[in-house]
A and B are shown apart, each in its own frame.
Chain A
Amino acid sequence: MDLKTTCLIVPLAPLAGAIIAGLFGRRIGRAGAHSITIIGVLVALVGSLLVANQVLMHGQSLNEVLYTWSMLGDVPLQIGFQIDPLTVLMMIVVTFVSLMVHIYTIGYMHDDPGYQRFFAYISLFTFSMLMLVMSNNFLQLFFGWEAVGLVSYLLIGFWYTRPTAIFANMKAFLVNRVGDFGFLLGIGLVLAHFGTLDYAQVFAKAPELKGETIELFTGTPWLMISVTCICLFIGAMGKSAQVPLHVWLPDSMEGPTPISALIHAATMVTAGIFMVARMSPLFELSDAARSFILVIGGTTAFFMALVATIQYDIKRVVAYSTLSQLGYMTVALGASAYGAGIFHLMTHAFFKAVLFLGAGSVIVALHHEQDMRQMGGLRRYMPITWITVLIAAISSAGIPGFAGFFSKDLIIEAVHGADLAGAGYAYACVLACTIVTAFYTFRMVFMAFHGEPRMDAHTREHLHESPWVITLPLVLLAIPAVVAGYLVGPIVFGDFFGGAIHYSPDHPVIHELAEEFHGAGAMMLEGLHGAPFWLSALGIAIAAYLYLFNPALAGRLRHWFRWPVRILENKYGFDDFNQTVFAGGALKTGSGLWKIGDVGIIDGALVNGTARLVGWAAGWMRGIQTGLIYHYAFAMIAGAFVLLTVWIWMVRG
């Protein structure tokens, strides 16, 4: 089988599964639906591995058009694949996590009436995400981009009778649309200035267009590439939930937990990171755009991590943690360390999936209780869940030896070495964030799994470890959450990405790091001396003291710091602001335009006013038509008199 056929099968297999489970779900039943979709995703995973083998071992690559979607004047808009190491890495992450989540779903959703629908959705998601990462052009990228947004919308609102869920999914879609709005403008600028939407052609033309300017405001020329890149990055801010477009992600936790793991942690939210890495030949040309990225990423990383420290809902802790970690990846992109960003994307996909799925395992065991104050001591009842979550937490906190350490440490080092405007701020953010990350992650572990059980007696009696369909994915995902880190050498510093990621010679951050890099083992030893490690250790120690040894103090601290805590509880007021200003403002404007503009002026004054005027005139005319002959005779004489007068006047004049 040649590479193109394999590549075609990879996305189409999950699509076929989705269509069958979606259209014939009732007929094939629950087992039928999960079997067919799991087979579809399994085929996709195997296909991805075959492709990886071809690309990585045999050095093949593929950039091929499948069909012409439409011509736009002389510009062909096409659907096609570009397969290179970056694509391959994403394909494997997506299909592997998706497969795990498919299996996990059998356990998590086993008593849900929408079982088949759920499998159809997650397979459809897998298809969309694969189309996104395999694309060789901006059109298909946007296709996948919005399609994953659609599935996310459908899945957040999966339990569509819940008011919170259907509010959250609309919010998610609209906030993402704000991002897509920027993204589409970026694509428009690309087409306008490069004359094509094909990646390879755009990237080839980029260097010669790097000096081109556009005047958005007369008199102030801006670099075209910078405007384009910032527009594209606004798209990434929506999808990858960067401040201030992050507001939808915490609410997306209204969806079932498996999709929180798959879509809102491991894959879809990283699409923005992937996109920027894919566009590295463009972003490398714009310091302004990368400065912007650094500031946004740093802000997201640190300030969202702070919110996680006060949450009690176990899923929300993980959600804010995801926001913060996405901030890390974004910072990496801004520091021109695309490889490190993608590497963190991969390790994060594994450890965050475990955290979410572990949280889900706990939630199921406690009959859909998500409040950590009702948990405690779960390690005795759920040892496998506990161990896997613990591993993921250590990885997340960046303790040497675990995957998260390698990727996170690299990012901190990279931004330390960057010399763009905003790099200092971003460095401070990500460094300070390490202590917060360690704190909230272990706060969660300690509150849920350690200490005294706080759930009611009835629940405690029925506590038991989740079935194998839930624990198996946890274990299978926990393994790469540890070992994936050891790929750091080949992936980040080797020529793994080849030409897929472009580093400008002016931004030698990765090369400088590569010179200092002497293998994963040395990096670990070095990490033990570094500030990030000690900050993480301190964070864990604080969490342990507050939540294991002196729980009363935690409550008192919350009271002492009640003002900052309130700010965090209000999530810095973003939601209130958006609700009042944007949502409320749009409704008020719309209502005003309608009532005053359409109903009042156009219809009321002009249209019906004209009709009234005509009606009034007609009434007046009707009054003249009396039907009395001497009235008409008088009118005739008067008319003749007037005409005669005018005639004489004109003849004489």
Chain B
Amino acid sequence: MRALQQGIEVQHSDSHTHDVAHGAAHGGDHGDAHQSGAAASMTGNPLWWGFGLLLIVLAWLAGRVLPVAGVSWLSVSIWLPIAGGVLMLAVGGDPARAGLVRQIALGSAVLGFLATVPLYVGFDVTAHGMQFTELSPWVERFHIQYHLGVDGISLVFLLLNSFITVLVVVAGWDVIRDRVSQYMAAFLIMSGLMNGVFAALDAILFYVFFEATLIPMYIVIGIWGGPNRVYAAFKFFLYTLLGSLLLLVAFVFLYNASGGSFSIEDFQNLPIPLETQKWLFFAFFAAFSVKVPMWPVHTWLPDAHVEAPTGGSAVLAAIMLKLGAYGFVRFSLPILPDASHAFAPFMITLSLVAVIYIGLVALVQTDMKKLVAYSSISHMGFVTLGFFIFSAAGIEGALVQMISHGFVSAAMFLCIGVLYDRMHTRNIADYGGVANRMPVFAAFMMLFAMANCGLPGTSGFVGEFMVILGAVQFNFWIGLLAASTLIWGAAYTLWMYKRVIFGAIANPAVAALADIDRREMVVLGLLALTVIGAGVFPAAMTDVMHVSIADLLQHLAQPKY
């Protein structure tokens, strides 16, 4: 508690404690080699090129070679990364073994990713219900089961999560020098737990995974974070924990109501009176709205992002925020359809506030990470908006927006990380003219910035487009307010880009910048391919969703009391 209070005192002081001089000193170390600017060839270990290609080839091979049936791929994708994490902790924090730890981390992250490929390849897009189900008893006294399965809604998130984990491991490769084994282990364990959240079909199993993900993220922010990390970590933890306690209460209530089952599928078929639905909706809302986060319970996110290390921010934005939105679509909508309809105006209002209010707030941020954090909240507003207009376009757009935001926000945070690693400041005013020294980086960041403001041809467009179309269909004015993101998104993103990347070289620290090396290039390159691929051919994502969304809509259309 004392730590929290201290945090409160620090909060209002200027968070940009790293000054430019620090960055200059850092950049000066390798400044000379790159004074030739554009002509300099790319630095870094050439093996990273090989890794990038290998990953693509392996993913392709995994789709062809790995058996679809006969292996519990869901369990593998949950426990393999966790096992890797435990192994790293066993290897220990001896700096001499940091290399080995990194290899284990990369190995288990890649294997964890490959384990999700058969799920995608083997997924039957025409089938209803859950696939790849696994069922075994866990706590028989309370009928709690180890019950896993995916449908079109959850499947893609396992791939997204496992893919981002690989990138985060590579992005932290030699940036993290302190407690490497614990850092990598935290991310791998977190990855497995989050796969568990998306795959769980038992409410208690879901709850355990959902809460467990807090711990590694809490540690990541609290140990590898910035100067105000303790306040941010506490705020993050308390905010999200308080919300989810009500979730547990709701689960226990549903357990009694269903006559002793924690199965999510049973919950979905339960007739519940409207008044009860409303109470349960509130309980779910408390848990999930904080995670999304929805306005006005969003203020933990900018603090957490600002203090978190790059990898932490990437995973937080890319995956962890999705847990809340996923909760809405997995629990609130199908279990409480009538309450969802009843509360739709409320949810839509909060979503639109997120889009516009937060969009405007993002505009005036002076810290790059805070800006992107606010942009995340604004984008997540589209997700909740899409869910609560109850149309195929809305829900499909919301899901696509979740996935796309996973790629784009991760990319934006990794880009800021690239700059932060060199300059040790996130303050926009400390930059200017980066394109002069880092043209390749500038090109990548341009792409991601455009994806962030929803340019067609990038993944960022797909979800927003669908949600806006759905919203206009629902109500013209709601569509109009939602579509205003075209302006806000472009304004805050491009204004930041202009001040950071464009312009003449602003100061000696920028003049000493070196362009991205091969390792960073592989991370950003893989993301760029995904962002463009998903923008040009989104059917790869949406085809698996259709049946599940249609089922959900049908479910939503029938009163449950």
Q: Are A591's CB and B364's CB within 8 A? A: yes
Please, which residue of chain B has its CB at the minimum distance from the CB of A589?
A: B360
Q: Are A594's CB and B361's CB within 8 A? A: yes
On whether A184 and B486 interact (CB within 8 A), knowing A68-B539, A73-B393, A160-B435, the answer reads yes
Stretch at the interface among A253-261, A328-336, A610-618: A610-618
Q: Are A181's CB and B483's CB within 8 A? A: yes
Q: Are B357's CB and A180's CB within 8 A? A: no
Asked whether any CB of chain B lies closer than 8 Å to the CB of A603, the reply is: yes
Q: Are B361's CB and A590's CB within 8 A? A: yes
Q: Are B468's CB and A161's CB within 8 A? A: no
Q: Are A188's CB and B502's CB within 8 A? A: no
Contact with B along A159-192 (1 / 0, CB 8 A): 0110100110010011001101100110111011
On whether A188 and B479 interact (CB within 8 A), knowing A70-B539, A72-B469, A603-B299, the answer reads yes
A contacts with B: majority SS: helix
Please, which residue of chain B has its CB at the minimum distance from the CB of A23?
A: B443
Q: Are A185's CB and B472's CB within 8 A? A: yes
Asked whether any CB of chain A lies closer than 8 Å to the CB of B466, the reply is: yes
Asked whether any CB of chain B lies closer than 8 Å to the CB of A648, the reply is: no
Q: Are A177's CB and B486's CB within 8 A? A: yes
Kindly state the separation between the CA atoms of A26 and B39 in the bound complex, as whole angstroms: 8
CB neighbours of A147 from chain B (8 A): 455-457
**Distance of B386 from chain A, by nearest CB (Å):** 12
Asked whether any CB of chain B lies closer than 8 Å to the CB of A71, the reply is: yes
Which of B39, B436, B503 has most chain A Cβ within 10 Å?
B503
Stretch at the interface among B69-77, B259-267, B489-497: B489-497
Kindly state the separation between the CA atoms of A69 and B543 in the bound complex, as whole angstroms: 10
Kindly state the separation between the CA atoms of A177 and B537 in the bound complex, as whole angstroms: 24
> How many of chain B's residues have a CB under 8 angstroms from any CB in A?
67
> How many of chain A's residues have a CB under 8 angstroms from any CB in B?
62
Asked whether any CB of chain B lies closer than 8 Å to the CB of A467, the reply is: no
B contacts with A: majority SS: helix
Q: Are B502's CB and A597's CB within 8 A? A: no
Kindly state the separation between the CA atoms of A73 and B471 in the bound complex, as whole angstroms: 14
CB neighbours of A603 from chain B (8 A): 11, 299
Please, which residue of chain A has its CB at the minimum distance from the CB of B362?
A: A590
Q: Are B469's CB and A163's CB within 8 A? A: no
Q: Are B360's CB and A614's CB within 8 A? A: no
Q: Are B494's CB and A161's CB within 8 A? A: no
B residues 473-525 touching A (CB-CB < 8 Å):
473, 476-477, 479-480, 483-484, 486-487, 490-491, 494-495, 498, 501-504
Q: Are A191's CB and B469's CB within 8 A? A: yes
User: Which of B450, B472, B495, B539 is in CB contact (< 8 Å) with A192?
Assistant: B472
On whether A188 and B538 interact (CB within 8 A), knowing A181-B486, A593-B361, A607-B235, the answer reads no
Kindly state the separation between the CA atoms of A74 and B553 in the bound complex, as whole angstroms: 13
Kindly state the separation between the CA atoms of A170 and B503 in the bound complex, as whole angstroms: 13
Asked whether any CB of chain A lies closer than 8 Å to the CB of B117, the reply is: no
User: Which of B4, B483, B538 is in CB contact (< 8 Å) with A185?
Assistant: B483
A residues 50-71 touching B (CB-CB < 8 Å):
67-71
Which of A68, A170, A177, A216 has most chain B Cβ within 10 Å?
A177
Q: What 5 A-B pairs come out closest when comparing CB atoms?
A: A188-B472, A73-B392, A590-B360, A192-B473, A590-B364
- Additional pairs, 20, CB under 8 Å, beyond known A160-B435, A192-B472, A589-B360: A26-B39, A70-B538, A70-B539, A70-B542, A72-B466, A72-B469, A73-B393, A73-B396, A74-B392, A147-B455, A157-B502, A161-B436, A177-B490, A216-B476, A227-B476, A586-B363, A586-B491, A590-B363, A599-B12, A612-B8
Query: A residues bordering B, Cβ < 8 Å?
Result: 26, 67-74, 113, 139, 142-143, 145-147, 150, 153-154, 157, 160-161, 163, 166-167, 170, 173-174, 177-178, 180-181, 184-185, 187-189, 191-192, 214, 216, 227, 586-587, 589-591, 593-594, 597-599, 602-603, 606-608, 611-612, 614-615, 618
